Amino acid sequence: MREARPQAGAGLWRQAGERLRSRWAVRLGAGALAVLVALAVLGPWASPWHADAIDWQHLAQAPGAVAGHWFGTDRLGRDLFVRTLTGLRLSLLVSVLATLTSLVIGVTYGAIAGFAGGRTDEVLMRGVDVLYALPYLFIVIILTSLLPRGSLAVLFLALGAVGWLTTARIVRGQTLALKRREFIEASRALGVAPPAILVRHVLPNLIGTVIVYATLTVPQMILFESFLSFLGLGVQEPRASLGNLIAVGAQEMSSAPWMLTVPSAVLVLLLVCLNLLGDNLSDALDPRGH
């Protein structure tokens, strides 16, 4: 019985991998994403400027090669190339951590609800329904207004604390379906304790679903983070994030349009790549339609 599962799983994954590699959209998205991540990690060191350094000679300098300000500078003379890339780095970091937080909460919650079933399941999922009725971001706004502003930990915990609802629903559904499978029944008949069944047999079988959902969650979290930072509730000056760079750029767009277009272009490119990869991955792992 333990022989059959991994083989079937490897088959699905290998097939999905082949399908993915043959698509030009995936190659393009993955390549561009790799470039963006490399730029976010290494880019700031390539520039002669520091994210907070003020260049009094070149305030609101247009993009070009002047004094190494490749993407120009902002109103305070800070280098936009470095600020955009450090902002990108921060957005990536916050969104990945927020996604992990939401996965931990969502998988635990959904697996417990689905595995316990009955009354527990009903109460737990009713709570999810209630939270669903409120638009996500309102809860994040409440949370960010309650907790100290400007702390990154608070930001990704707040985002993760509301992003888990859909994960919980999907995981619960999968757990309910898994629970009725023969191998779970067999281990129950062998006298394995329920928590052990959950950890040893149910969770490993959820990994595929969870990975697919995570790739779709990361761009959502990037969007939420920049949304909050744009409104002034997320990352605070002098720290740069794509959201607050765009907010400042929007105020300065009549005299310094590059302050708006540079961070916007990076954000849009990042979101397009992630959406492309996420859509194709969930497509490739979906056994229907092939």
Alpha carbon distance 222, 159 (integer Å): 10
Of 84, 70, 76, 71, whose CA–CA distance to 53 is shortest? 76
The least CB distance from residue 205 to another protein, in Å, is: 28
- Omega into 238 within 30° of 0, i.e. cis? yes
Binding to another protein by CB under 8 A, coded x per residue (else -) over 143-182, reads -xxxx-x---------------------------------
Comparing CB distances to another protein, the nearer of 36 and 246 is 246
**Contact criterion met (CB below 8 Å) for 144 and 158:** yes
The least CB distance from residue 38 to another protein, in Å, is: 21
Selected from 267, 277, 284, 285, the binder of another protein by CB under 8 A is 267
Comparing CB distances to another protein, the nearer of 13 and 227 is 227
Helix (H/G/I), strand (E/B), else coil: 73? strand
Question: How many distinct helices (H) and strands (E) make up the chain?
Answer: 11, 0
Q: Looking only at residues 227 through 266 of this chain, which bind another protein when binding is defined by CB under 8 A?
A: 227, 230-233, 243, 246-247, 249-250, 253-254, 257, 260-261, 264
Both tokens of 46, joined, read: 């390539």
Q: How many CB atoms lie within 10 A of CB 257?
A: 13
The least CB distance from residue 47 to another protein, in Å, is: 24
**Contact criterion met (CB below 8 Å) for 216 and 280:** no
Give the binding site for another protein (CB under 8 A): 129-130, 133-138, 141-142, 144-147, 149, 223, 226-227, 230-233, 243, 246-247, 249-250, 253-254, 257, 260-261, 264, 267-268, 271-272, 275-276
